[in-house]
Amino acid sequence: MNKAQLVEAIADKMGGRQQAADAVDAVLDAIVRAVVAGDRVSVTGFGSFEKVDRPARYARNPQTGERVRVKKTSVPRFRAGQGFKDLVSGSKKLPKNDIAVKKAPKGSLTGPTATIAKAAGKKAAAKKAAGAAKKAAAKKTAVAAKKTAAKKTAGAKKTTAAAKKTTATKAAAKKTAAKKAPAKKVTAKKAPAKKSTARKTTAKKTTTRGK
């Protein structure tokens, strides 16, 4: 029996095929969500669904016989209830005009289904919030990295500009020093002129003495 046949089997009791399909989808969805969230779904007389964690282990490839390491994983598990086992084994007969699985006692269906749905909803909301927080943190780190890179490039540009300015000022200072140096040489050359005037005065004195 597949899902479509299951829907057809309960269509008369649910008042129509669409209602039966919606009921089957709702039941399966609730079970899957609860098991994924880590909850145990137990149906009296039918069985229980739960999540089981399998540790890392070694297994053998059936085709090659090679030893392979299997990673840690989680798998769903269904355990049949005692009433279901008894009906399958034949120790109990299926009722003709009644439901095979024992009915839940009155008042027991009001609490557990709601709590399972709430727990699944809370865990799903927590996962969504965690995912949103991770995305926001990743965006913040990316923006911070961009800012730091921009600051580094700006600092590098400033240092290169300052280095260029210092080299320019040094070159200008060298040029001005080179221009001032010849003036000192000219003044040094003018000094011998004074000696010539001194010699002329001595010559005049000798001429006056000769007379």
Residue 184 maps to a domain: no
Residue 105 confidence (pLDDT): 63
Residue 188 confidence (pLDDT): 44
Contact partners, residue 93, CB within 8 Å, separation at least 6: 87
What is the residue whose two structure tokens read 């039966």? 20
List helix spans (H) across the chain.
3-14, 17-36, 82-89, 112-210
Could you list the residue range(s) of the whole structural domain that residue 99 is in?
3-53+69-132
Span of 36-50, 117-131, 155-169 with lowest mean pLDDT: 117-131
For the segment 65-83, the average pLDDT, to the nearest whole number, is: 93
Number of domains in the chain: 1
Question: Half-sphere exposure of 37 toward its Cβ, with a 13 Å CA cutoff?
Answer: 22
**Percentage of the chain lying above the pLDDT 90 cut:** 38
For the segment 121-132, the average pLDDT, to the nearest whole number, is: 68
Q: Find the angle CA(169)-CA(171)-CA(177) to the nearest 5 degrees.
A: 100
Residue 122 maps to a domain: yes
pLDDT 10s digits, 89-111: 998 888 887 788 766 666 655 54
Of 41-50, 90-99, 115-124, 174-183, which one has max mean pLDDT? 41-50
Mean pLDDT of the chain: 77
Residue 43 maps to a domain: yes
Pairing of strands 73-80, 67-70: unpaired
Residue 39 maps to a domain: yes
Span of 64-68, 69-73, 200-204 with lowest mean pLDDT: 200-204
Measure CA 18 to chain center.
Answer: 42
Span of 8-12, 74-78, 207-211 with lowest mean pLDDT: 207-211
Write out the two tokens for 119.
């727990």
- Residues composing the chain: 211
Residue 193 maps to a domain: no
CATH number at residue 127: 4.10.520.10
- pTM for this one? 0.47
Residue 177 confidence (pLDDT): 63
Nearest to 20 by CA among 8, 5, 35, 31: 8
- For residues 169 and 175, give the distance between their C-alpha atoms in angstroms, rounded to a whole number: 10
Residue 120 confidence (pLDDT): 54
Of 127-131, 140-144, 173-177, 207-211, which one has max mean pLDDT? 140-144
Residue 162 maps to a domain: no
**Residue 159 or 57, more confident:** 57
What is the residue whose two structure tokens read 């009155």? 106
pLDDT 10s digits, 27-48: 999 999 999 999 999 998 899 9
Binned at pLDDT 50, 70 and 90, residue 121 comes out as low
**Residue 191 or 170, more confident:** 170
Residue 63 maps to a domain: no
Binned at pLDDT 50, 70 and 90, residue 137 comes out as confident
CA distances from 111 to 81, 102, 116 (A): 21, 18, 9
